[in-house]
């Protein structure tokens, strides 16, 4: 977590933004053709959708769906549907902010720094997604988010 003031009534399970301006050497490259990444079609459909692109550009920092509705001027049903599409394409992460003084908040964050689309010698499309390095704090946030999904 950054050295900023942290409200004692909230436990933030959101990754720090310290690597937001990372270079190519600070990222982890991931190709969808070699591993269990999202299908090329899911990434392409998400990037083709103008509302998904609007949400992605708005997610410079973690935001709730309510904040996205207001900033993108989209109905909540559309925002939730587009966030689901972006999560399936592995372009957005979902986190939980645990609050001691009230209900927890679900926040969303862009989960890539660069996307490359290539075509190989066999005329197959491949998508490479560069992601920021995960710090120990980021891994803990992911752990708690996954625990929430299992419960």
The size of the chain, in residues, is 151
Which residues have C-beta within 8 Å of that of residue 84, sequence separation ≥ 6?
Answer: none
Q: Which of 18-32, 65-79, 120-134 has the lowest mean pLDDT?
A: 18-32
User: Whole-model pTM?
Assistant: 0.66
pLDDT digits 0-9 by tens, 73-117: 999 999 999 999 999 999 999 988 888 888 888 999 999 989 998
Least reliable range by pLDDT among 8-12, 26-30, 45-49, 143-147: 26-30
Q: Go through the domains of the chain in sequence order and give each one's CATH number.
A: 30-150 (1.10.10.10)
Q: Which residues pair with 11 in a beta bridge?
A: 98
Per-residue CA distances from 114 to 51, 128, 130 (Å)? 19, 8, 5
């Amino acid at each position: 977590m950054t050295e900023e003031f942290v409200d004692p009534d909230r436990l933030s399970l959101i990754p720090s933004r310290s690597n937001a301006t990372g270079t190519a050497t600070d990222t982890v490259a991931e190709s969808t053709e070699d591993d269990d990444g999202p299908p090329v079609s899911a990434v392409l459909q998400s990037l083709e959708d103008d509302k998904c692109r609007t949400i992605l550009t708005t997610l410079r920092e973690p935001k709730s769906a309510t904040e996205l509705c207001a900033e993108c001027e989209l109905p909540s049903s559309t925002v939730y549907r587009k966030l689901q599409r972006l999560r399936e394409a592995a372009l957005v992460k979902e986190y939980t902010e645990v609050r001691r003084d009230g209900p927890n908040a679900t926040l969303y964050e862009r989960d890539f720094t660069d996307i490359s689309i290539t075509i190989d010698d066999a005329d197959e499309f491949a998508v490479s997604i560069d992601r920021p390095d995960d710090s120990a704090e980021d891994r803990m946030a992911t752990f708690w988010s996954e625990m929430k999904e299992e419960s």
